[in-house]
Chains A and B, each alone.
Chain A
Amino acid sequence: MKFRWRRRHIGELIVKIIMYFSFACVVGSLALILWTVLYKGLPALTWSMITQTPKGGFYLGKEGGILNAIIGSLFMAVGGTIIALIFSLPLALYLETYINASRFGHWVRLSLDVLWGIPSIVYGAFGFTIMLALGMRASLLGGIVVLALLEFPIMTRAIDEVIRRMPGELEQASLALGSTKLEVATRVVIRQMLPGIVTAILLAFGRGIGDAASVLFVAGYTDRIPTSLMSPAASLPLAVYFQLGTPFPEVQQRAYASALILTIIVLVISFGSRFLSTRLGKYTVK
């Protein structure tokens, strides 16, 4: 039969064009962001940026780097991720093995999703009120705790989504052998789902390290590398923000370079987690 153009084919064509166009817009804006950050950041990126702390007059365009912010950010994000992990891994396992399809399970998932949606600035304000109530000053500890709060729902839901794909037979097989649910969770589910769990943890870590609004109130900002949990700590996103806010072009250049460093860290985590999850995948039952 010979093909004949009809109205519906024209509709199909128009929609296809719109689709390709919107697809190009979305992918193009991603490319544009990466290109802008690279193009502006790369020329300003020097070795001393990442190996030195700010010297006197750094914010006027003099010597120094942002090592304080890099270290501060890493401390905060690692600390926050560890604390979040302590709560979210058990909770995700509990959701999966104990209360999966129950009313309570749905309720917990709903509240986690709602928590995920709370803006980070609100977490920051909340952390701030708690610290005022406890009489604490802005410190590394405050940053860690607030990032843990921020990461907790993200990590739990991500791990939950992962272990939902757990093959039911494995679970049933170990239950049939007489193991308790706790043993199933800790020895079978974790081992089988390790690749996905690692990916979920790194996802939360990436969110934590990139978040500025939450640590704005609670972590303070300093030019020194934090030495104790109680000392204030700088962070990379805030370093970008503050440097961009100065009127000096040299300092603004550094803001671009700092943004590039932050982007590289996040991208490395993002791709690293993909790589890791395929590597760890060899210990699982197919």
Chain B
Amino acid sequence: MNSTAQSASEGHLFRSSQAYRQTQEKNARRALFVIALLPTALIVAVTLALLARAWPILQQYSLWELLTSTTWKPMKGQFGFLPFIAGTFWVTVVGVGLAVPPCIFTALYLSEYASNATRATIKPMLDVLAAIPSVVYGVWGVLAIVPFVGNVIRPALSKWFGFIPLFASNQPTGYGILSGGIVLAVMIAPFIIAVTYEVLRTVPEGWRQASLGLGATRWQTVRHVLFRQTLPGMIASVVFGTSRAFGETMAVLMVVGNVPQLPTSIFDSAYPLPALIANNYGEMMSIKLYDAALLCAALVLLVIVLVFNIASTLVLQRILRRSWA
């Protein structure tokens, strides 16, 4: 390359005087340090801003009262978050429960069994799956999952297992927790697979070879060598997926039915926290304390997600950095 021409053209940008370059370096270091404080500052700012806006309602009702009351009647000044927290909890549990077993096995397959060619084609496909906007998942849910749940799974399960309250069918459509859970499961799958895969790859190749060389089958190797080392990482990846699931708004909102009630069956409608915030932003300025209540809901959501996130990230950072030399 013609490096002389290049350095000549850049000469006016970086004067070669030693002192100048040293000052430049020092200034850059300072500016970059400030930028590096931004992420932490942003977390604090988001929390404080939401707390400030939610303050009026937290002064009038105790936090415990808000979190455990079941009546949601903003017009009458009753703000009970329990149905929404329950809705979030149910949808998340169903979604994560459906997602985890296939995801762990898929990650195992990709990491331990698949040929390099399969891996090279599937990994980009998973990236594509992760890139699809949540609204598109929602459309897919409305078009494919809701009818499937409503016309196939619901009649079948409630016919055979209807005596268990969990599978009772209390309403005639497919809009409910199970649909939300399925859509959620597909959405968080790429994340869980990617993280589990990364965790599995941290185990040194020699360990596998040693185990296989002793005559163990691949599954025995996975069970006795890999699982023992990577279990914390796998749990962390599931928690990571769970925290994604908590906050997912649009896709779930479109299929979950949005009825503020305490669900008792997986076919019941639910009303998760993010859906509550998204659905009511329009009228929230017109009713007293309504905006404070909604931003308090956002705060509750944020705190739940922060706790899950920090826990899983701490574990993952430790594991992905670990090297077994």
Contacts and interface: CB of A to CB of B under 8 A. Distances in A.
Interface of A: 8-9, 11-12, 15-16, 18-23, 25-27, 29-30, 32-33, 36-37, 40, 87, 90-91, 93-95, 98-99, 104, 106-115, 117-126, 128-130, 132, 149, 152-153, 156, 180-183, 203, 206-207, 209-213, 216-217, 237-238, 240-241, 244, 255-256, 259, 262-263, 266-267, 269-270, 274
Closest CB pairs A-B (n = 10): A119-B247, A210-B133, A22-B102, A213-B249, A117-B309, A94-B32, A22-B105, A111-B39, A125-B298, A237-B135
Contact of B143 (A12, A18, A40, A113): A40
B24 A182 contact: yes
B214 interface: no
B166 interface: no
A111 B219 CA distance: 37
B142 A118 contact: no
A107 B313 CA distance: 11
A22 B127 CA distance: 18
Given A91-B35, A110-B313, A183-B21, 13 more contacts: A9-B217, A15-B222, A32-B140, A111-B40, A113-B317, A114-B313, A120-B247, A122-B305, A130-B49, A216-B281, A256-B139, A263-B136, A270-B128
B136 A90 contact: no
Nearest to B186: A29
A98 B254 contact: no
Contacts of B49: 126, 129-130
A36 B143 contact: yes
A54 to B, nearest CB: 18
Contacts of A16: 113, 219
Contacts of A269: 131
A262 B138 CA distance: 13
Contacts of A18: 105
A132 B109 CA distance: 50
Given A110-B314, A126-B50, A203-B131, A274 B124 contact: yes
Nearest to B318: A106
Contacts of A33: 129, 132, 136-137, 140, 186
B140 A122 contact: no
Interface of B: 14, 21-22, 24-25, 28-29, 31-33, 35-36, 38-40, 42-43, 45-46, 49-50, 52-53, 101-103, 105-106, 108-110, 113, 122, 124-129, 131-140, 142-144, 186, 189, 193, 216-220, 222, 240, 243-244, 246-250, 254, 274, 277-278, 281, 294-295, 298, 301-302, 305-306, 308-310, 313-314, 317
A33 B49 CA distance: 38
A82 B99 CA distance: 35
A107 B298 contact: no
A33 B240 CA distance: 23
Contacts of A182: 24-25, 28-29
Most interface-central of A112, A213, A255 (chain B CB within 10 A): A213
Contacts of B216: 8
Per DSSP, chain B at the interface is: helix
A19 B50 contact: no
Contact of B136 (A37, A128, A153): A37
Contact of A121 (B42, B109, B277): B277
Contact of A8 (B29, B113, B220): B220
A87 B35 contact: yes
A213 B278 contact: yes
Most interface-central of A18, A30, A108, A124 (chain B CB within 10 A): A30
A122 B39 contact: no
B105 A109 contact: no
A212 B25 contact: no
B101 A22 contact: yes
A94 B24 CA distance: 15
A108 B131 contact: no
Nearest to B105: A22
Contacts of A124: 277
B250 A19 contact: no
A152 B45 CA distance: 15
24 contacts: A8-B220, A21-B105, A22-B105, A22-B109, A26-B106, A30-B128, A32-B144, A33-B186, A37-B136, A87-B35, A94-B32, A108-B39, A114-B310, A117-B247, A119-B247, A119-B305, A129-B295, A183-B14, A210-B133, A237-B133, A240-B138, A244-B254, A266-B132, A267-B128
